[in-house]
């Protein structure tokens, strides 16, 4: 449904006619994310500063027009898919690094900055920002914050919530607020920074972020450990996480994932391998080898088949090729697979994989699992053909069972992909009614007319 002429003219006056799309053909590319969902917005406005965001949100609030914020569309849950009558605020041109302050270990950035671009700028100054999602080369900082997307380094360095000091954001009435502090300590007022991070644009639209930086480490070493089965690998993960040294990455692949990669790439692991761990440690150059040795000792158990330690960059790259070969293999077999990221307690990983194997047999769905073993964040991939109606019905039943299994094991339905539309209707399985009611009340305080990303994140309230 097109915008009225007065509303369209008002948007053009805010951002300029050359920064506003209203024709359907021009708007379509901004109506989808990395899920299979797509919806044609009424308009797309490219913003370049906070004042424009404020003006657009105030206008939308006045007219009751829904808004969806968009970085570069790498999300997988439909959280940036707009309403058909709504406006997409595109942040890709609001992409300046405003300040890098090594003395205070912080950087101030706009939301459209690409993660990888920021990392390169920081690396030149001897720092990094810990969140490093797989899509780092093409995802924005604003998107990372909206989803609380973290990546492998979260096991040691934390998620965006632990690595963001403060925000500037626009609420659903068009009011600009500032949250947080410039220091690593601060307890004045409620922690609105952590509340907004992960809220998927439903509470406020981030226009600036003050990020906490970490000094670059001098050296890294990578280990690859193979095991007879997932139980031995899970025991190793628990042992590694129980000892004093925390790895900066602890990734795993189950037997199904290994079998799939083997179809497309030479893994260099024995045929009896039932699970694989990729472990990376970092630290001062003079002691990183002893750190790797300590982690290797924890990784050894009766189910270990082989453990390799790469100490040179070429060896490290060779080991990581194993993990990096998985995504292309999955895309080749099932380009439209269902990809869920769930989290279970580290001690329950083996039980979870056992349960997934049972569900795969029961529903006749091929499931491949890999992910961030150090914090129990498992990427569950259901390899399906959307053109096969029967298979999609079985997949929906299987997914229902996956979520029940996660909750039964004390886990959570999303670790870093968010909720969006894809998981919205399952949220009530994890969050009880009083907590949901409080969350809806918080949403109403930030966004009284419900224009910010409506229908995302929380299940729809029953009348």
Distance (Å) of CA 440 to CA 114, 203, 446, 447, 463: 31, 10, 10, 10, 14
The H or E element containing residue 256 is: helix 255-264
CATH 3.30.465.10 fits 97-215, yes or no: yes
pLDDT above 90 coverage of the chain, percent: 83
What integer pLDDT is reported at residue 254 of this predicted model? 92
pLDDT digits 0-9 by tens, 313-356: 777 777 777 666 776 677 777 777 888 999 999 999 999 999 99
Domain 219-327: which CATH number of 3.40.50.1820, 3.30.70.2190, 1.10.600.10, 3.40.50.11440:
3.30.70.2190
What integer pLDDT is reported at residue 1 of this predicted model? 63
What is the DSSP secondary structure assignment for residue 265, as one 8-state letter?
A: S
- Measured between alpha carbons, how far is 58 from 2 in angstroms, rounded to an integer? 19
Tell whether the model's pLDDT for residue 393 goes beyond 90: yes
Tokens representing 183 are: 């220091």
- Measured between alpha carbons, how far is 335 from 317 in angstroms, rounded to an integer? 26
pLDDT above 70 coverage of the chain, percent: 98
Q: How confident is the model at residue 259 (pLDDT cuts 50, 70, 90)?
A: confident
What's the chain's length in residues?
463
Tell whether the model's pLDDT for residue 260 goes beyond 90: no
For the chain, the domains span: 5-90, 97-215, 219-327, 334-424
- Measured between alpha carbons, how far is 291 from 245 in angstroms, rounded to an integer? 7
- Measured between alpha carbons, how far is 116 from 332 in angstroms, rounded to an integer? 26
How many Cβ atoms from other residues are within 10 Å of residue 317's Cβ? Answer: 12
Q: How confident is the model at residue 372 (pLDDT cuts 50, 70, 90)?
A: very high
CATH 3.30.43.10 fits 5-90, yes or no: yes
How many Cβ atoms from other residues are within 10 Å of residue 459's Cβ? Answer: 17
Q: Which of the pair, 49 or 135, is modelled with greater confidence?
A: 49
Instruction: Find where tokens 């088949």 sit.
Output: 305
Estimate the share of the chain in helix, then strand, then coil, as percent rounded to the nearest 5. 40, 25, 40
- Measured between alpha carbons, how far is 289 from 299 in angstroms, rounded to an integer? 15
Instruction: Find where tokens 């053009």 sit.
Output: 12
Tokens representing 1 are: 């449904």
Residues in CB range of 151: below 8 A, 6 or more apart = 131, 132, 133, 134, 136, 372, 416
Lowest mean pLDDT among 105-114, 292-301, 306-315, 357-366: 306-315
Cα dihedral 118/119/125/129 (nearest 10): 100
> Sheet harboring 338-343: ordered strands across?
304-310, 219-227, 275-283, 249-254, 366-372, 377-383, 338-343
Residues in CB range of 411: below 8 A, 6 or more apart = 342, 343, 344, 345, 348, 352, 376
Mean pLDDT, to the nearest integer, of 25-49?
94
* CATH level 3 topology of 334-424: Alpha-Beta Plaits (3.30.70)
Mean pLDDT of the chain: 93
Rg (CA), the chain: 23
**244 burial type by CB count under 10 A (0-12 exposed, 13-18 middle, 19+ buried):** exposed
Q: Please state whether 371 falls in left (phi above 0), alpha (psi between -120 and 50) or beta.
A: left
- Measured between alpha carbons, how far is 449 from 227 in angstroms, rounded to an integer? 54
CA atoms within 13 A on the CB side of 156: 22
Tell me if 341 sits within 8 A of 379, measured CB to CB.
yes
The reply to whether 5-90 and 219-327 are identical in fold is no
Cα dihedral 42/199/94/29 (nearest 10): -40
- Measured between alpha carbons, how far is 40 from 52 in angstroms, rounded to an integer? 22
């Amino acid at each position: 449904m097109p915008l009225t002429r007065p509303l369209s003219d008002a948007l053009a006056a805010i951002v300029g006619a050359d920064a506003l799309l209203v024709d359907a053909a021009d708007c379509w590319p901004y109506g989808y994310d990395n899920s299979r969902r797509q919806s044609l917005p009424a308009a797309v406005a490219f913003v370049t500063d906070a004042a424009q965001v404020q003006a657009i949100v105030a206008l939308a609030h006045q007219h009751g027009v829904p808004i969806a914020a968009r970085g570069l569309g790498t999300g997988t849950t439909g959280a940036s898919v707009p309403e058909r009558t709504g406006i997409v605020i595109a942040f890709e041109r609001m992409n300046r690094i405003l300040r890098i302050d090594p003395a205070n270990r912080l950087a101030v950035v706009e939301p459209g900055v690409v993660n990888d671009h920021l990392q390169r700028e920081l690396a030149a100054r001897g720092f990094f920002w810990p969140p490093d999602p797989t899509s780092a080369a093409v995802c924005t900082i604003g998107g990372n914050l909206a989803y609380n997307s973290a990546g492998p380094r979260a096991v040691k360095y934390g998620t965006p919530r632990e690595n963001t000091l403060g925000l500037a954001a626009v609420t659903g009435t068009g009011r600009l607020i500032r949250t947080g502090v410039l220091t690593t300590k601060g307890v004045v007022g409620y922690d609105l920074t952590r509340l907004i991070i992960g809220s998927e644009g439903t509470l406020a639209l981030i226009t600036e972020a003050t990020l906490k930086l970490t000094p670059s480490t001098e050296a890294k070493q990578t280990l690859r450990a193979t095991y007879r089965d997932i139980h031995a690998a899970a025991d190793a993960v628990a042992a590694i996480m129980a000892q004093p040294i925390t790895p900066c990455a602890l990734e795993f692949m189950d037997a199904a994932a290994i079998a799939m990669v083997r179809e497309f790439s030479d893994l260099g692991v024995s045929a009896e391998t039932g699970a694989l761990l990729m472990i990376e440690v970092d630290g001062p150059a003079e002691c990183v080898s002893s750190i790797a040795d300590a982690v290797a000792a924890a990784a050894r158990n009766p189910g270990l088949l082989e453990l390799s330690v790469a100490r040179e960059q070429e060896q490290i790259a060779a080991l990581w090729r194993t993990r990096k070969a998985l995504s292309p293999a999955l895309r080749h077999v099932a380009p439209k697979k269902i990809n869920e990221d769930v989290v279970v307690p580290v001690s329950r990983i083996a039980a979870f994989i056992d349960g997934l194997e049972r569900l795969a047999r029961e529903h006749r769905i091929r499931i491949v699992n890999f992910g961030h073993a150090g914090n129990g964040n498992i990427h569950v991939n259901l390899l399906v053909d959307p053109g096969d109606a029967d298979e999609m019905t079985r997949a929906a039943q299987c997914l229902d069972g996956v979520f029940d299994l996660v909750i039964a094991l004390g886990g959570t339905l999303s670790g870093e992909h968010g909720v969006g539309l894809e998981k919205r209707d399952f949220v009530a399985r994890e969050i009880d009614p009083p907590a949901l009611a409080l969350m809806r009340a918080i949403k109403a305080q930030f966004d009284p007319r419900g224009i910010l990303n409506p229908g995302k994140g929380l299940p729809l309230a029953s009348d």
